[in-house]
Structure 1
Amino acid sequence: MTLHRLLPILAGALALGGCNRIPEPAPGTAAVTRGSIRMAVPFQGELAARHVEMITVGVQGAAVLSELAPEGTRVAAGDLLARFDTAQIEQDLARLENDLVRAQQELESLEKAELPLELIEMESKRLEMQAEFEGEERFLASARGLQERGLMSDGEVEQLERKVAGLRTRCTQMHTRIELTRQHVHGARLAKARAALAAAERQRDFTARQLALCEVRAPVDGVATLVPLPIDGEYRTVHVGDTLYRNQTFLCLPDPSEHVVRGYAGESELPWLEPGNAVVAVPAAFPHVKLTGRVESVGGMAQTRPDYPSWRKFFPVLIALDPVSEPLPVGISVRAEILAGESDQALRLPREAVEWRGNQAFVRKTSGEEVEVQIGLADARFVEITSGLAEGEEVRLP
């Protein structure tokens, strides 16, 4: 076949081949295409233990630290963390033990000796008075017989009658006195002694608890971490010999088995943060360590932050981490990326193709028409077009 006959066939083949190719956008334009977008929100926070047991001074008043576990010591529940000087408390406890013994002896003496003896003595007096009364009453009866026979004057009989009446009154008074003493006087003395004993027991028990509180043991497993606090005009961690006071927190025990990241996100990032978002993080001090996890919670109330203008608002974010591969100190800075969303078949445009006016996005088609578009996901290069353009449409680049 001659060359001039082959040329039309080759031209037709080239034309058919060109029909199956996707045309490239003209220079200065971009086409809406489908592709992948992975939107990650940068985040900075602080590594923390989910559970932290705070250790405070339990001793009443001032307490001098005499022993302290070194910073960073891994402890098990029951291990010694700190000990306070016990000399004064031991001295007080010995004195109170002595007071308690005396109070017990006082009560026992009242119950078994003093009060029964008082009642015996009073009952003895009553019996004596009763015997005297009965004797005088018999003598009065004899005197009346003598009076009838004219052997005793009326005045003598009246004198005896007054004496017998007085003795009868004294017997009645003694009986009443015994009953009142038994029911009220002795009861009050016993109540006072029992109250003194109870008070002595409470004082002894309180001081014994204070002595026990001088020895501070770990309530849970953890890592001994010193907590700074005001001491003698300084803000520092404690040393042996420092004087601390009740309820001051001087140690904490972060649980090394479960970590979280705590931090704050700006309000512009809030729409993209939801519980369950995947997270990849790296500790600033340990860049070789890769941490993974998920957003656990996003705060519901805006807050201001130090070193930022008051009009800037932030929301607390808590990230739950998967088990950490190696021991890490709490409190270190962490850089993270929170996966806000991703799509493998997103309609997308280059970022530079979109013009923003306030919170609304616009693009300009190659025809010159300006179109309002809705933006979905976005990464460093592309934005997702959720409405306003169709696949294949071209827009101008600035």
Structure 2
Amino acid sequence: MKPTFLTLLAAGSLILGTSCGPSGRSPTTVELKPAPFKVWSVYDGTLEARSLKSIMSKGRGAVTVEEIVPQGAFVRQGDVLVRFDASDVERDIVRLERDLALARAEFESLEQAKLPLEIRDLESRLLDARVQREAEEQYLEDTRELLADELVSAQELKQQEVRAEAARKLATNLENQLELTRKYLHPSTIERARATLSSAEAEMEMAREKLASCVVTAPVDGIVVYRSVHVGGEYRNVRVGDTLYRNQTFMVLPDMTDPVVQCNVPEAELSRVRVGSKVLVTPVSYPDLKLEGDVENIGSMAEQVTGRPGWQKYFQVTIRLSANDDRLRSGMTVRVTVLSHTSAAALTIPRPALNWDGETPWCSVSRRGRTERRELVLGVVGDQEVEVLKGLEPGERVVVR
């Protein structure tokens, strides 16, 4: 990018004059007068949205485009941008709804019916076993007394001892079974049922999210811009029937309510651009449209630019616009004119009047029909005029080659 420099001078700042003479070879001179002096630096830039919303697939796995809004369409927040094929997801939801209902029914049945009934049955059996144990132990005591009175035989006593021991074991086993059931078996059964229910709920939630992700709506107002994606071995814009994958960006919505301009300034010209410098922006598409702005930010690092010589580095400059226009579109090429220097009353000479002796600038001053060499101290250099800081005085006339 080769910038140009425009110098604006007040009318009458330089008065051209030609000494008259019969030979017609008298030098052309200009009279020096202080006048307003501005130097503008011109660069090519690109109009962009400050905020850019990327649109991508959020579904799990591959999705097929069923409907998509055309590129360039203006959309409002909430408008549908794309619909993906949801037939597989809808079938999954039918199956998952059934699985979820079964898991919930099983959990509620265990928690509210099966397990409580099992506990009650064990408690009832334990109560009967304890009653039976007490009865058998009482019979055993009675049998021992009867044996002492020789009313029963020793064989009958042994039989009663066996029955009493069996009753004690049954009661002990039921006590252990009830304790283990309450402490381990039922909690683990409940946890398994709860885990099955939670898993079914999670799968159902994911399926609903996947179904919701089959419809993508606009997060902000904006103009639809397609992004090329890799489809079928080529990079192109997405079409109906294409397959996309999760987090694959296929569309963007530039928010053109707050546009900015990006341009690259060669590092050798960085001194001509400062944060806060006034800027005029002209879209190439609309040369009559002039937008005011100012330099918002200057990049902190010099970088190479693709397509430019490798030895040349640039700083990226961001320009904030003071006004907007409905005709502006993201990606437009614009002409950026930066006010690099301004002076209310500067003494300037035309560039053709400037000479160089090595690194020393000088000019010829016409005095009483004669010319004399005058070395100069220069200020800002424009493409047509040069500011002189020392070496010339107002009213003097300089020779223009």
User: What is the rounded CA distance, in whole Å, between the counterparts of 1:194 and 1:57 in structure 2?
Assistant: 33
Provide the residue aligned with 2:279 in structure 1. 279
1:376 aligns with 2:375: no
User: What is the rounded CA distance, in whole Å, between the counterparts of 2:107 and 2:208 in structure 1?
Assistant: 23
Distance 1:356-1:208 versus aligned 2 partners, 3 A rule: farther
Contact 2:17–2:30 (CA<8 Å) still a contact in 1?
no
Q: Which amino acid aligns with 2:384?
A: R
Q: Which amino acid aligns with 1:349?
A: I
Distance 1:370-1:150 versus aligned 2 partners, 3 A rule: farther
Contact 1:122–1:178 (CA<8 Å) still a contact in 2?
yes
Shift of 1:265: 0.7
Shift of 1:270: 0.7
User: What is the rounded CA distance, in whole Å, between the counterparts of 1:233 and 1:285 in structure 2?
Assistant: 35
Contact 1:36–1:343 (CA<8 Å) still a contact in 2?
yes
User: What is the rounded CA distance, in whole Å, between the counterparts of 1:379 and 1:179 in structure 2?
Assistant: 98
Q: Which amino acid aligns with 1:48?
A: E
Contact 1:273–1:340 (CA<8 Å) still a contact in 2?
yes
Shift of 1:172: 2.3
Provide the residue aligned with 1:362 in structure 2. 361
Shift of 1:68: 0.8
SS at match of 2:202: helix
Shift of 1:126: 1.8
User: What is the rounded CA distance, in whole Å, between the counterparts of 2:196 and 2:54 in structure 1?
Assistant: 38
Query: How many residues are aligned here?
Result: 373
Shift of 1:209: 1.0
User: What is the rounded CA distance, in whole Å, between the counterparts of 2:30 and 2:387 in structure 1?
Assistant: 14
> 1:308-367 deviations in whole A, cap 9, x for unaligned?
23221101111122333442322121112111122231122333415386xx65326769
Shift of 1:77: 1.1
Summarize the alignment of residues 1-398 of structure 1 with structure 2, pairs less than 5 Å apart.
27=27, 33-152=33-152, 157=157, 160-161=160-161, 163-352=163-352, 353-355=354-356, 362-363=361-362, 371=375, 373=377, 375-386=378-389, 388-392=390-394
User: What is the rounded CA distance, in whole Å, between the counterparts of 2:288 and 2:345 in structure 1?
Assistant: 33
User: Where do 5+ consecutive residues of structure 1 fail to align?
Assistant: 1-21
Distance 1:46-1:240 versus aligned 2 partners, 3 A rule: same
> 1:58-109 deviations in whole A, cap 9, x for unaligned?
1111111111111111111111111111000101111111110010011011
User: What is the rounded CA distance, in whole Å, between the counterparts of 2:302 and 2:159 in structure 1?
Assistant: 103
Contact 1:32–1:348 (CA<8 Å) still a contact in 2?
yes
Distance 1:315-1:129 versus aligned 2 partners, 3 A rule: same
Q: Which amino acid aligns with 1:227?
A: R
User: Where do 5+ consecutive residues of structure 2 fail to align?
Assistant: 1-15, 20-25, 366-370
Contact 2:275–2:296 (CA<8 Å) still a contact in 1?
yes
SS at match of 1:256: strand
Q: Which amino acid aligns with 2:73?
A: T
> 1:31-65 deviations in whole A, cap 9, x for unaligned?
76523322111110111122222211111111111
Shift of 1:253: 1.5
Contact 1:257–1:323 (CA<8 Å) still a contact in 2?
no
Distance 1:40-1:150 versus aligned 2 partners, 3 A rule: same
Distance 1:292-1:117 versus aligned 2 partners, 3 A rule: same
Q: Which amino acid aligns with 2:187?
A: G
Moved more, 218-227 or 346-355: 346-355
Contact 2:299–2:315 (CA<8 Å) still a contact in 1?
yes
Moved more, 28-37 or 85-94: 28-37
SS at match of 1:50: strand
Distance 1:361-1:85 versus aligned 2 partners, 3 A rule: farther
User: What is the rounded CA distance, in whole Å, between the counterparts of 1:354 and 1:198 in structure 2?
Assistant: 88
Bigger strand fraction: 2
Contact 1:32–1:389 (CA<8 Å) still a contact in 2?
no
Provide the residue aligned with 1:9 in structure 2. none
User: What is the rounded CA distance, in whole Å, between the counterparts of 1:220 and 1:299 in structure 2?
Assistant: 28
Contact 1:263–1:317 (CA<8 Å) still a contact in 2?
yes
Moved more, 72-81 or 28-37: 28-37
Moved more, 200-209 or 228-237: 228-237
SS at match of 1:328: coil
Shift of 1:395: 7.1
TM normalised by structure 2 equals 0.84
Distance 1:71-1:356 versus aligned 2 partners, 3 A rule: farther
User: What is the rounded CA distance, in whole Å, between the counterparts of 1:23 and 1:329 in structure 2?
Assistant: 49
SS at match of 2:117: helix
Distance 1:325-1:134 versus aligned 2 partners, 3 A rule: closer
Bigger helix fraction: 1
Contact 1:275–1:296 (CA<8 Å) still a contact in 2?
yes
Q: Which amino acid aligns with 1:336?
A: V
User: What is the rounded CA distance, in whole Å, between the counterparts of 2:125 and 2:357 in structure 1?
Assistant: 114
Provide the residue aligned with 2:9 in structure 1. none
SS at match of 2:379: strand
User: What is the rounded CA distance, in whole Å, between the counterparts of 2:98 and 2:357 in structure 1?
Assistant: 86
User: What is the rounded CA distance, in whole Å, between the counterparts of 1:328 and 1:365 in structure 2?
Assistant: 50
TM normalised by structure 1 equals 0.85
